[in-house]
Amino acid sequence: MTNTVRMHQGPVDSSKVPRFAGPATFARLPRLDQVPRADVAVVGVPFDTGVSYRPGARFGPAAVREASRLLRPYHPGLDVSPFERVQVADAGDIAANPFDIGEAIEAIEAGADAIDARLVTIGGDHTIALPLLRSVARRHGPVALVHFDAHLDTWDTYFGAEYTHGTPFRRAAEEGLLDTEALSHVGIRGSLYGKKDLEEDRRLGFGIVTAADVLRRGLDEVTDLLRQRIGDRPVYISVDIDVLDPAHAPGTGTPEAGGLTSRELLEILRALAGCRLVGADVVEVAPAYDHAEITSIAASHVAYDLVSLLALNAEERG
């Protein structure tokens, strides 16, 4: 019996078409409808009705795709050519009602279910993590979670609303979507409404690595801690771009001083290579508050690392 090597359609060749020309799919990859099937799909969710302060993350997917034009096909930090290893495609955007959060959440969940690939989702605000986790849990059962953010996002309600960008992981825990023995926040900092915020978060099962912990304990200790907590469970990674200091990501809705550098975030992600990653998102890029595409460039590199992590451990389906 001979083994058939499946060739993958990769990005547009930048030696033939300049990076600034042509359609702005993620990393200049083919659209999902241009390939027979995909192992990994990058999908946008231009939705920001759940924000509590500055709006504008609905324009995040377009900005991140535009910034991703500079990405190249080989990742030296992970020693992988993700677009050769697996078929990666841009699945376009999931349309969601901007006036009805409940209806939008249902549409995002259905849209994620309809894509037969592991997803790296570009938001949009953090509300979208809940329907994405519903879709992932339907396929893989309750998942471990590594949540990069300045904020806990486990509050109960805001102005009486249960579904906002500050509540997705409270709702996910209540719905049984998360493995409560393997939940981690990374990069938490800033003021809170009260000490009870931390107590309630702890009761949900989360462990916290603050931004100060990353500084004082170092990347190796932090990543060892995360890997021990994840174990061999299927894991979902959710990255709110405000985990980065505003110096590295000014274009976001609720910036907090004292955050991670883009280098620290990328190094932590790369140290999670080999974990059973089943899906991921990058959210809260609000380009109206950005300067020189600083935030969207950072987010595009984060998304590229997440695609590369999925490519490293993806089992290609026949």
Binding residues: 126, 149, 151, 153, 240, 242
User: Could you tell me the two tokens for 307?
Assistant: 């695609």
Give Cα separations from 270 to 46, 65, 213, 223, 236 (angstroms). 27, 21, 18, 9, 14
Write the DSSP symbol of residue 272. T
In terms of Cα–Cα distance, which of 23, 111, 99 is closest to 58? 99
Q: Which residues are annotated as a binding site for Mn(2+)?
A: 126, 149, 151, 153, 240, 242
> Strand, coil or helix: what is 146?
strand
Phi-psi region at 274: left, alpha or beta (left = phi > 0; alpha = psi -120 to 50): left
Under 8 Å CB-to-CB from 212, ≥6 apart: which residues?
189, 258
> Strand, coil or helix: what is 88?
strand
